Amino acid sequence: MCNLPIFDDVVTGRPSEVFARLVRKLSAYTRRDRTRSFKVGITNNPHSTFSGRYARNYDDMIVLYKTSSIDSVSKLEAYLVEHNWELADNRIGGGGGRIGEPPYYLYVVRRS
């Protein structure tokens, strides 16, 4: 059993069908009274990504979206980063590394 602070609030579907819902979810999780900073990303292994890349600098991870399509998850990541560009810690608009095999997950890591 994993004791990492990783939480699932997953939706699935086509980007055009879930974008507005993901914007609302991300906004709720990253409100200024709850979060000092955050970063949006994609992975095929949330536990490994959080423990290897984020555990030192962020308090938790919320997995927001799951798909077998790299195109779908990449589009949503780019949209959400662009939508939150002035607030997020992302330095580029998405697609910063190798992802591996599906399923793919869209996540947000937060610092309280």
Q: What is the pLDDT of residues 88-111, one digit of tens each?
A: 999 887 666 667 999 999 999 999
The number of distinct structural domains making up the chain is 1
13 part of a folded domain:
yes
The residue with greater pLDDT, 19 or 4, is: 19
102 part of a folded domain:
yes
Q: What is the pLDDT of residues 16-69, one digit of tens each?
A: 999 999 999 999 999 988 899 999 999 999 999 999 999 999 999 999 999 999
26 part of a folded domain:
yes
- Please give the order of strands across the beta sheet that includes 60-67: 6-11, 60-67, 104-111, 37-43
Domain holding 77, by residue range, is: 6-111
At residue 16, the pLDDT reads 96
1 part of a folded domain:
no
Please count the other Cβ atoms lying within 10 Å of the Cβ belonging to residue 61: 27
pTM over 0.85? The answer is yes
Burial per residue of 13-52, b for 16 or more beta-carbon CB atoms within 10 angstroms, e otherwise? eebeebbeebeebbeebbeeeebeebbbbbbbebeebbee
At residue 1, the pLDDT reads 42
